[in-house]
Structure 1
Amino acid sequence: MASVNPPRGMRDFLPADKARRERVLAVIRERYRAHGFDEIETPVVEEHARLHAGIGGDNEKLSYNILRRGLDADGIRAAADDPAALSDLGLRYDLTVPLARFYATNRGQLPTVFRAIQIGPVWRAERPQKGRYRQFVQCDIDIIGDDTARAEAELITASLDTIDALGLEGGSVRINDRRALEWMLDSFGFTADERPGVLITIDKLDKVGPDGVAAELRGRGVTPGAVDAFDAFLKRPQTREYNPYGERQIRKALPEGAPEELIAHLVGLGDAVAAARPDAGEPPLVYDPFLVRGMGYYTGTIFELAHPSVDYSLGGGGRYDGMIGRFLGQEVAAVGFSIGFERIVDLVTAVEVEAAQAVVLVHDADVPTTELLAHKTALLRSGDAARVRLERRPKNLKALLERSAADGYTAFAAVRAGDAVGELQIKPLG
């Protein structure tokens, strides 16, 4: 007999959980719209060739592919060694690749600088574990058509404003630039073909430390002199003085001789964020020269959202100027920021987003249906309730009211046959 549980890595949500998720999503949408972004929707299915075009990084390996229609057993055996022959479609593993395809398809109907919101489920064939699911919601904002630091500043400002609105004040953003990373690796002496593997190792710095990174790099067999230079840089003497985000912090974090245009870009980004948040003091930004982010399509600024209550990121993104050009044959500037909804929704459990009053009408068995529906309609039309549910009075009223409170209801009223419409006595739950 088949299991009644959902597939591994996927979840059911009870009414109260679903309601809380939707309230959090409503806040996210409202703040994104307030910052000038417009919501779009793309299909959950994309062409197999697009999902496996070499622009999705490791996520491509986690794609759920859809078997071609009409293949019989012989056809499946003949195509067994060729995934593209077996599948012509797949479930989206992120929202960025679909957005690039969307823009290429619809750019004639979009503004020169397009600010997009995309919110929806994605699927990855992950190994299920705590906090890692095979189906989860992503909340993305992207700006297409603006190649200046203003676009990054808008994304960072909107994201910080959003988590503030959810009661998660105190967030900060770690910032780097893939061009600075490439320059740094080149200055140490790593060859171009060594750099992808080197970046994978550098991304482990906060977990294994400088010695662990150096040991793994030597184990990879990369240029020994480059590893020595990098190891020496990691272990260089440093003062413990505090420097807010700005030119001094950035210069101290990079080897000498960093390109001035890159430093100016990063400094300007901080100035823009500070101007957008004048009441917040210094910008909540930290320059991290070893921030990598795993997606291979990033071409410039990259960032991650941090919060002092947890030791993992709550979102991130970066500039991916080369992706849309893969569909159009011409370069189009693009940068995006994704909030980790599944992580954030767990953090705001104690910071409930205000919900409109929801009322349970507990009625006796002999109350006519016509009267019940008249009471319900009157409450909804008067604005005294945004949500009304009818429940027949059980023997255990306390259990009913407790379950209703767990489902997000805030009040109840007892209804008896003949009660005047509009004159029910509404009492708070709990």
Structure 2
Amino acid sequence: MASSVTPPRGMRDYLPADKAKREYALGLIRGVYTQYGFDEIETPVVEDYTRLHAGLGGDNEKLTFNVLKRGLSGDDLRAAADSGDSAAISDLGLRFDLTVPLARFYTTHRGELPPVFRAIQIAPVWRAERPQKGRYRQFVQCDIDIFGEPGPLAEIELLSATAAALAELGITGYTFRLNDRRILNSMLDVFGFAADEQPGVLITIDKLDKVGVSGVVAELRERGVTASAIDSLEEFLVGVADVEAGPFGEEQIRSLLPEGVDAEVIGELAEIGRAVERAVEASGVDHSDVPLVAFDPFLVRGMGYYTGPIFEIHHPELGYSLGGGGRYDGVVGRFLGQDVPASGASLGFDRIVDLIQTDAAQQGDRIVLVHDRDVAPADLVALKSQLVAGGARVRLEKRVKNLKGLLDRVTEAGFTSFAFVRSGVTDPNELEIKPLG
């Protein structure tokens, strides 16, 4: 029986046209981030098991692809399976995001980096997800992060650069949904949840979009957290649903929060949103179709390491976000022994590339040289080299009886013109280049 030749579930092959489109998009993103003053780095695809399971990745730690230690016996594997102790048989794991490796990188190279370090990371990550539309086991993240900047300037830079990258890709109609972990924690204090209950309560609130108010309340009661706090939260959720959202700003944020939430944090979040609106307006990008920024009091972000402003990129035509990020001041401290201000933004590249027009990746002249069989290889390659030197993309194809089939195939591959090459032709000026399609 023949073995399966399809990729593993949740992972994909890319045909040439798809790969060209992806590389085109990656090039645009890299170019924008570089213009905005970020520097690209690279880290290994694997990290130490203990680092990946240090409590920084939330539920994603459960989705890590772990790497078995070398030289294990069957008895070792059976004993680990019986005990549930993965650390006994694994010393490495594939990275599930780029933030934990970046924190390790910064800790390792801090002395070689500037006081405020702006990093680009564009690389694949792996999670043992249940594959579904828009969710893969291997996917590319496009991250920018800033270390060493404690104030809102970091978030303003990150969101402005992200908006510029989306504009360069031709993506419109999205909104940055903003919140702050300090606002969430302050809300839970106001409602009366105990400190040790709050992490679990946030996990449940994060499901609000999927299960609604009744689902959130039911799960919290099942968890057995403070009953009076649940009542207060339920009353607030029902009431805030009727609040008409106005233009983004401190007034709008306050209208969507209970009394008693930290005013300074509200002001800082409003400052971030207004500054991003101003930056996008200054860049000349028209974003009048939908609000550029909006406050979402129940945006949680699942990663446990966030400590301040958080955000997601919402697109009304999609059932998932295009990216997100936030401040994570405590992560480097896990490795360095002292906290370092840090904030980052990530684009979900595999989701974004599906929104790009197919022909956007086709740039420059793309010529097919259809040659007779008696044309000398040296002449062909010399001819091709001259055209390439002039900036064209060139493919060689032998002339066949079914010429229409050949031309249809290369047109589908993105080529725009062709020329017949006869024996003895070595000068591109002797070619009659004709359009395809």
Same fold (TM over 0.5): yes
Given that 2:164 and 2:280 are in contact with CA atoms closer than 8 Å, whether structure 1 keeps it comes out as: no
The equivalent residue for 1:71 is 72
Report the counterpart of residue 12 of structure 1 in structure 2.
13
Establish whether residue 121 from structure 1 lines up as the match of residue 124 from structure 2.
yes
1:56 aligns with: 57
Q: Is 1:312 matched with 2:320?
A: yes
Q: Distance in 1 between matches of 2:240 and 2:318?
A: 29
Matches within 5 A, 1:85-104: 85-104=88-107
Residues 360 and 411 in structure 1, CA contact (< 8 A), matched pair in contact too: yes
SS in 2 for 1:352: helix
Q: Secondary structure at the match of 2:419?
A: strand
Query: What CA deviation, in whole Å up to 9, does each residue of 1:360-384 have, x standing for no partner?
Result: 211111111011011101101223x
1:256 aligns with 2:264: no
Deviations 1:376-401 (A, max 9, x none): 01101223x0x211111122122222
In the other structure, the counterpart of 1:373 is 381
Q: Distance in 1 between matches of 2:356 and 2:341?
A: 34
Structure 2 equivalent of residue 287 of structure 1: 295
Q: Provide the aligned length of Structure 1 versus Structure 2.
A: 428
Change in 2 beyond 3 A, CA 1:351/1:236: farther
- Report if aligned partners of 1:201, 1:216 keep a CA contact under 8 Å in 2: yes
Q: Is the contact made by 1:91 and 1:122 (CA closer than 8 Å) also made in structure 2?
A: yes
- Is 1:296 equivalent to 2:299 in the alignment? no
Find the aligned partners of 1:357 and 1:271 in 2 and give their Cα distance: 43
- The answer on whether the counterparts of 2:367 and 2:416 sit within 8 Å (CA) in structure 1 is yes
* Structure 2 unpaired stretches of 5+: none
- State whether structure 2 residue 416 is matched by structure 1 residue 400: no
* Whole-angstrom CA distance in 1 between matches of 2:151 and 2:186: 20
Q: How far did residue 209 of structure 1 move?
A: 2.1
Query: Percent identity among equivalent residues?
Result: 62
1:417 to 2:423 alignment: yes
Counterparts of 2:222 and 2:78 in 1: how far apart (Å)?
40
Instruction: Give, in angstroms, the shift of residue 316 of structure 1.
Output: 0.4
**Aligned twin of 1:275:** 278
Q: What CA deviation, in whole Å up to 9, does each residue of 1:221-253 have, x standing for no partner? A: 221111111111112277765521111011111
User: Within 5 A, what are the aligned runs for 1:182-221?
Assistant: 182-221=185-224
The alpha-carbon deviation at position 112 of structure 1 amounts to 0.7
Matched letter for residue 411 of structure 1? S
1:428 paired with 2:426, answer no
Q: Does the 8 Å CA contact 2:95/2:101 hold for their aligned counterparts?
A: yes
Aligned alpha-carbon RMSD (Å): 1.8
SS at match of 2:125: strand
Higher mean C-alpha displacement, 199-208 vs 158-167: 199-208
The structure-2 alpha-carbon separation of the partners of 1:216 and 1:238, relative to structure 1 and needing over 3 Å to count, comes to closer
Instruction: Tell me whether 1:111 sits opposite 2:114 in the alignment.
Output: yes
Question: Does the Cα contact within 8 Å between 2:45 and 2:125 map onto a contact in 1?
Answer: yes
Question: Unpaired runs of 5+ in structure 1?
Answer: none
Would you say 1:139 and 2:155 are equivalent positions?
Answer: no
Rounded to whole Å, the distance in 2 between the matches of 1:237 and 1:64 is: 41
Tell me the TM-score normalised to structure 1 length: 0.95
Change in 2 beyond 3 A, CA 1:237/1:44: closer
The residue identity in structure 1 corresponding to 2:389 is R
Task: Check whether the contact 2:372–2:421 (CA below 8 A) recurs between aligned residues.
Answer: yes
Q: CA deviation at 1:211?
A: 2.4
The CA distance in 1 between the partners of 2:140 and 2:241, in whole Å, is 41
Alignment counterpart, residue 389 of structure 1, candidates 392, 395, 406: 395
Query: TM-score, normalized by length of structure 2?
Result: 0.94
CA shift at 1:427, angstroms?
A: 2.1
Letter in 2 for 1:108: G
Whole-angstrom CA distance in 1 between matches of 2:95 and 2:262: 38
Question: Which residue does 1:224 correspond to in 2?
Answer: 227
SS at match of 1:391: strand
In structure 2, relative to structure 1, the CA distance for the partners of 1:127 and 1:157 (3 Å cut) is: same
- Work out whether 1:172 is the aligned partner of 2:179: no
Which amino acid is 1:422 matched to? Answer: P
1:341 aligns with 2:342: no
In 2, distance between residues paired with 1:238 and 1:420? 73
State the shift of 1:176 in Å. 0.4
CA contact (8 A) 2:190 2:260 kept: no
Which residue does 1:357 correspond to in 2?
Answer: 365
1:201 Cα shift? 1.7
What is the rounded CA distance, in whole Å, between the counterparts of 2:371 and 2:18 in structure 1? 26
- Secondary structure, in 3 states, of the residue corresponding to 1:360? strand
Q: Deviations over 1:175-204 (max 9, x none)?
A: 000111011011101112222221122112
SS at match of 2:357: helix
User: Larger deviation: 30-39 or 355-364?
Assistant: 355-364
1:324 alignment partner, SS class: helix
CA–CA distance in structure 2, aligned partners of residues 252 and 376 of structure 1 = 66
Match of 1:332 in 2: 340
Opposite residue 230 of structure 1, the aligned amino acid is L
Mapped partners of 2:57, 2:240: distance in 1 = 39
Give SS of 1:412's match: strand
Give the deviation of 1:173 after TM superposition: 0.2
- Asked if structure 2 preserves the Cα contact closer than 8 Å seen for 1:117 and 1:140, the reply is yes
1:402 Cα deviation after fit: 2.0
Whole-angstrom CA distance in 2 between matches of 1:397 and 1:337: 49
Whether contact under 8 Å (2:58, 2:303) holds in the other structure is yes
